[in-house]
Amino acid sequence: MAVPVNPAARAAPAARRTSRATPAGARVGPLAWLLGWWRVLRLGMLLLALSLSPSSFARAHRAALARQLTQDAGPTLLWFTLLSAFLSLVLIRIVIVTAVSYGLTQYALEMVVRVLVLELIPLAAALFVALRVSLPAGAELVMLRRRAGLDAAAMHTPAVLAGELLPRVLAGMFAVVLLALLSCALALVLAYVSVHGFTPWALAGYTRTVGQIFGPVVTLIFVLKTLAFSVIVALIPVASAVHDAPPGSSRTRVELRALVRMFTLLLLIEAASLVGNYY
């Protein structure tokens, strides 16, 4: 006759096995996190080496690259320029009125250039391109992988790297740099007009003040920060689409992982630039 088995007694060994396996599973988290960053870095190095190869810009890939550049940078140029001009005018007016009310008129222009041009506009351009260009490009790659049934190894073939990944990364980088430079130049013009009006007689003093702010160290930090922002914004969504989108994974999860990585790096670089500029 069969002896009845208590369900609690049957579940006890499984519970003990689960409790023993939990510490080992907990160690997978940091390893998976480091592996994810290593994959992003490795893909970035591959695309950097590929961008330095003349074969990547041969006639077969030139049309796709030109189409991606115009498709990503063209539609965002007008909207971001208008938005940055409006926000720049508002911020310039706030800073000037506040400086005048506290008797710090001589520092108003320097504060506008440091806060608006050096810090806010490059970060705003990177975030704008991330939301309007890079994340949709990563979602496009996820759909491409699902339609073609490609795994991560197939995404690293030379044809896919040069034909699909490199144009999207270069287009995202170009969009960030273009929007940041144009908006910074426009903000400098608006700052001059807001402070001095439509007169050319204050141009010498204005250029002297701006030149004193953009010293060699500050200019180098500004250029490196803008380039780093462009690389992060363009590379992270593409790398997440390549490595974090296995079959059956949701597109929202891939985009959220890309956003977390992107914001982490952007904040670290912005903090490092603040330290370099003001300490």
Alpha-carbon distance of 62 to 56, in angstroms, equals: 8
Q: Which tokens hold the place of 158?
A: 């030379």
* Chain segment 177-213, per-residue pLDDT in tens: 999 999 999 999 999 998 888 888 889 989 998 999 9
Q: What is this structure's pTM? A: 0.83
Cβ–Cβ under 8 Å, residues 269 and 232? yes
Rounded Cα distance, 126 and 111, in Å? 22
Of 64-68, 127-131, 147-151, 198-202, minimum mean pLDDT range: 147-151
Cβ distance 229 to 122 under 8 Å? yes
Place of tokens 């740099």: 177
Examine the pLDDT at 115 and tell me if it is beyond 50: yes
Burial state string for 260-275 with b = 16 or more CB within 10 A and e = fewer than 16: ebbeebbeebbeebee
Check pLDDT > 80 for residue 25.
Answer: no
pLDDT, position 124: 94
Cα–Cα–Cα angle for 212, 185, 225, nearest 5°? 70
